[in-house]
Amino acid sequence: MHRCAILDDYQNVALAMADWSVLGPEVEIAVFNRHIEDRGALVEALRDFDIIVAMRERTPFDAALLAALPRLRLLVTTGMRNASIDVAAAEKNGVIVCGTEGVAGSTAELAWALILALVRNIPAEVEDFRRGAAWQSRLSGDLAGRHLGIVGLGRLGARVARVGVAFGMEVAAWSRSLTDERASAEGATRAPTLDALLSTSDIVSVHVPLTPASRGLIGARELARMKPTAFLVNTSRGPIVEESALIEALSAGRLAGAALDVFDREPLPADHPLRRAERLIATPHIGYVTEATYRVFYGDAVADIVAWLKGKPVRRIAADR
């Protein structure tokens, strides 16, 4: 008998998103709907499982946690990249790490929802409407003709760029490896430096993965390069933008506003300063939380387990060498 834990199923939908019955009676499944923050409680809850399905970075698996789970043999993460799993430590402990495919457009769509919410003051307008406040009490902006700066022009950044072009925006992009040809293919121009991108953009949208090089990429110095009328949107990973620097910039009015879907710590504590930050729109990391994405995530997770049971793991994630 194998025991499989499905972690952090906040919406309580994991079992409905895939056909888990194909695993048969030899796999017993337990679903954890709530995040377990306490490390001791987490180890106690997971010590008897040899298969764990983790939803993105909701539960970090560092070397210490992996060492505390000697029965664990298969760790499935949704997506093919998970910075919160120490894959090298997993390999050292005899744990195979596998991933899943995903749906490319979900997070890019949310990025545009947040951009439009910022530029058109949508949350404030909805709140005024519901409480019967003054009718049409503020002016909002337009997108056509404004400058959109994209940090990272991969799959998601490219989708955001193409929408910006459709809105009639001037689109620029920057990353360390970006070429003029790649930028041009998505209707953008390549900014020579990150500073140049930040200083000329009316809206900056972040789409680089979290790596040692991108952690803290946008801090106090970089935020100071932005226009005081500019907006910053981060739907990638929280630590790419320094939270304390962003809170200070918003509080001092050095940015017109920001929108976040990602945070250094998730779930974000109820007393966190970002909960009270001015000029901020925030959502609880819902960029990938769609039915289509979950069906791919959990469907592939089941397939990963089936393949592992047959001794032929698929979508293995190897440690960086």
Question: Above 70 in pLDDT, residue 169?
Answer: yes
- Segments in the chain forming alpha helices (H): 39-46, 63-67, 87-92, 105-119, 122-130, 155-166, 180-185, 194-200, 220-225, 243-251, 291-309
Angle between helix 105-119 and helix 155-166 axes, rounded to 10 deg: 40
Above pLDDT 90, what percent of the chain? 97
Q: Is residue 321 part of a domain?
A: no
Question: Are 113 and 88 in a shared domain?
Answer: no
Question: Above 80 in pLDDT, residue 96?
Answer: yes
Question: Are 135 and 204 in a shared domain?
Answer: yes
Q: What's the rounded mean pLDDT across residues 64-81?
A: 97
Closest alpha carbon to 208 in 158, 245, 242, 266:
158
Question: Are 128 and 91 in a shared domain?
Answer: no
Question: Are 254 and 149 in a shared domain?
Answer: yes
Mean pLDDT score across all residues of the chain: 97
169 is in which domain, residue-wise?
A: 105-282
Distance CA 225, CA 228 (A): 9
Domain total in the chain: 2
Q: How many CB atoms lie within 10 A of CB 126?
A: 11
Peptide bond preceding 267: is omega within 30 degrees of 0, i.e. cis? Answer: yes
What pLDDT is recorded for position 235? 98
Distance CA 300, CA 78 (A): 8
Question: Above 70 in pLDDT, residue 321?
Answer: no
Q: Is residue 255 part of a domain?
A: yes
Q: pTM for this one?
A: 0.93
Q: Is residue 314 part of a domain?
A: no
What pLDDT is recorded for position 320? 80
Among residues 56, 207, 237, 243, the one annotated as catalytic is: 237
172: β partners: 149, 189
Q: Is residue 197 part of a domain?
A: yes
Question: Are 85 and 218 in a shared domain?
Answer: no
Q: Is residue 315 part of a domain?
A: no
Closest alpha carbon to 137 in 127, 148, 128, 146:
128
Q: Residue 51 — φ and ψ, nearest 5°?
A: -130, 130
Q: How many CB atoms lie within 10 A of CB 290?
A: 16
Q: What's the rounded mean pLDDT across residues 205-219?
A: 96
Q: Is 59 helix (H, G, I), strand (E, B) or coil?
A: coil
Among residues 266, 272, 279, 295, the one annotated as catalytic is: 266
Question: Are 123 and 226 in a shared domain?
Answer: yes
What pLDDT is recorded for position 144? 98
Band (pLDDT 50/70/90 cuts) for residue 104 is: confident
Q: Which two tokens stand for residue 46?
A: 């997971």
Distance CA 156, CA 158 (A): 5
Question: Are 247 and 302 in a shared domain?
Answer: no
- Annotation marks residue 266 as catalytic: yes
Question: Are 258 and 120 in a shared domain?
Answer: yes
- Annotation marks residue 237 as catalytic: yes
Question: Are 219 and 245 in a shared domain?
Answer: yes
Among residues 146, 207, 225, 285, the one annotated as catalytic is: 285
Question: Are 64 and 153 in a shared domain?
Answer: no
Question: Are 264 and 116 in a shared domain?
Answer: yes
CATH (domain of 128): 3.40.50.720
